[in-house]
Amino acid sequence: MRHKPILLFLKTMVKIFNFLPSEMSHYLALEGLKLLTHIGFRVDNDNSKTSVYCGISFKNNLGLAAGLDKNGDYIDALAALGFGFLELGTVTPKAQKGNPKPRLFRIRSKKALVNSMGFNNKGVDYLVEKVKKRKSITPLGISIGKNFNTPIDLALQDYLICLDKVYSLADYIAINISSPNTKNLRDLQSDDYIESLLSSIKNRQTKLSSAQGYTPILIKISPDMSSDELKTLSESVLANKLDGIICSNTTTNHNHPSKKGGLSGGPLFELSTSTLLALRGFVGPDLPIIASGGVMDLDTFKHKINMGADAVQIYTGFIYEGPSLVDKIINSASEN
């Protein structure tokens, strides 16, 4: 099926969906995409330049960030858009409803979102079954977290439960310790927890790899860390030989009337990029970094690469621009 006319149609539908309640519009858009894929729609990208990071071969370096397909319900539909990789989740050991609604807000004038979702998902076992049934071969990252009612001192156990269950199915695993929407979660980035957490996760990775092969593990960080906190975390990542870092999650530095949640989209670009630049300075030139935060067009995508990212993820830009943004980035970037 020719994809250009469909992309124009989808761009129009995205504009309409943006005036519906946020969570409803996301659901309708994904269900519509799933239907189109079922009848043959996919984005052609024959000019992609394959890259290898963390031992994974990506057909291009544009990925979808975690949060859109939390449960693996739309893997094949999203893969058909031409992404180089998809990140599912964040998933927790047990299913949970997340924070009370309303919890997702658009700021259309700034092309931004504020979300306080709280890891709403159907649980790791549900996602595992969905991943087993997928047909696409697009590399998958799986983001894992802790349940809301797990005390912070016991958070490691939740990560290990999820790690064990997704290890053989993921191309990489993202350790999400940076969401602002689970109470105290960001404490895991601090000097009090980070070394113990990462060393325990690395030990489990080593044990699992002996029987199941090697699956890279990356850690997803906050853009709100101080320079000293970022330096400490970077040193722990290097000391424990983690495979990479995802930079970054949403920021709590906003004045939205909800007075909660994390801000993403255009206003996050400068902060997340300055964090990326500092991070690259701390970890050196070789550790893979996936950049996320405020990528809304081809120029912001390229800037992330120029500032030290190996690959880039989009989320809010995809919400506002739809599949045409993916097509524009992967086909324009591959021509250069």
User: In the 8-state DSSP scheme, what is residue 249?
Assistant: -
Query: In angstroms, how far is CA 319 from the centroid of its own chain?
Result: 14
User: In the 8-state DSSP scheme, what is residue 41?
Assistant: -
| Amino acid in position 73 | D
**Residue of 153, 259, 276 lying closest to 221 (CA atoms):** 276
- The terminus-to-terminus CA distance of the chain in angstroms comes to 26
| Amino acid in position 305 | I
For the record, the structure tokens of 297 come out as 């067009």
Q: Is 168 an annotated catalytic residue?
A: no
* CB-CB contact of 27 with 312 (8 Å): no
| Amino acid in position 65 | A
The percent of the chain in helix, strand and coil, each rounded to the nearest 5, is: 45, 15, 40
* CB-CB contact of 215 with 206 (8 Å): no
H helices of 39-183, in order, are: 75-79, 124-133, 155-166
**Residue of 294, 290, 255 lying closest to 271 (CA atoms):** 294
Taking the C-alpha atoms of residue 288 and residue 310, their distance in angstroms, rounded to an integer, is 6
**Residue of 117, 113, 115 lying closest to 99 (CA atoms):** 117
Among residues 22, 179, 236, 292, which one is catalytic?
179
* CB-CB contact of 111 with 264 (8 Å): no
| Residues marked as catalytic | 179
